[in-house]
Copies of this chain bind each other. A is one copy, B any other.
Amino acid sequence: MLALTILGNNSALPAFGRNPTAQILQTQSEVYLIDCGEGTQLQMSKFKIKKSKIKHIFISHLHGDHYFGLIGLLTSMGLANRTEDVHLHGPSRLIEIINLQLEVANAHLPYKLYFHPLAEEGIIADTATITVESFKVKHRIECWGFIFREKKNKRSILPDRANAYGIPSAFYEQLQKGMDYQNAKGTIIPNAEVTIEAAAAKSYAYCADTIFDIELASKIQGVDLLYHETTYLHALEERAAARFHSTTKQAAEIAKAGNVKKLLIGHFSSKYETLEEFLTEATSVFENTDLALEGACYPL
């Protein structure tokens, strides 16, 4: 199970009550933060996300609307007496900014902050429940996308049946892996008799800020949920390209070419007060599209 909560869906200039980019991805046991625009810690509080549970933070690039809230979140974690490690993944110069801001305040974090600079495409985190891959996207400055892949889930044991067959709990881990059980009399109990298949492992791709780039489709091929920016409506295709951003239809083209199951669009320009047209345009190309709305949770 993965669940994505949107904390901010607007582009650089906050407008119409919409906030800069930040997203929370939750597994059953872990919480990941993806980008951290100004006010993220306030949005987390509003939408009941516990900052104490975040262990990994991923910053796509160093435009302010994607990280100006980070230093506030990190220092607030410290003020809340956090002692657990935080792993921060982002462009290499991010740590300079954080260190400078801590230095001038004569401040020290009471927890360990491990910084992992983004350098090459590939797996950058491997936790109990997921792996995270980074991939490059094309923007005005160095910018990264991330794919979060749930690890293959274990099979679920049916305890009543396993008991009835006299299978000892010491063998349960092997059952979860799909092995059959052979009892003392030599009888083989087929795994399928005492377990059921796990839910399929899910995947989420976050494309950050990017110009339309059809090569992205191969990088995010087949994910369950794709977030792709749509700063502008189709009519402003030229402006989008000039600013290294994308339009509704372009995001939908990537979703279609990438054979993803569902598309989520966001990073809306401050020039748009309402968002309905974003959905109309994107669904004209790729039907299973949703608007990224602040506070909404998208399970997958």
Contacts and interface: CB of A to CB of B under 8 A. Distances in A.
Given A63-B105, A101-B64, A106-B140, A76 B12 contact: yes
User: Chain A: interface secondary structure?
Assistant: loop
A39 B140 CA distance: 25
A124 interface: no
Given A38-B69, A100-B100, A13 B64 contact: no
Most buried by B among A62, A79, A105: A105
A248 interface: no
A23 interface: no
Nearest to A101: B97
Nearest to A20: B72
A104 B100 contact: no
Contacts of A69: 38
Contact of A39 (B13, B38, B106, B270): B38
A-B pairs, top 8 by smallest CB distance, nearest first, are: A38-B72, A62-B104, A13-B79, A39-B39, A93-B104, A68-B72, A64-B75, A63-B105
29 contacts: A12-B75, A12-B79, A13-B76, A13-B79, A13-B80, A14-B41, A14-B42, A14-B45, A19-B42, A38-B38, A38-B68, A39-B39, A62-B101, A62-B105, A63-B105, A64-B72, A64-B75, A64-B105, A64-B107, A68-B68, A68-B72, A79-B270, A91-B104, A96-B100, A97-B97, A100-B100, A104-B141, A105-B141, A106-B140
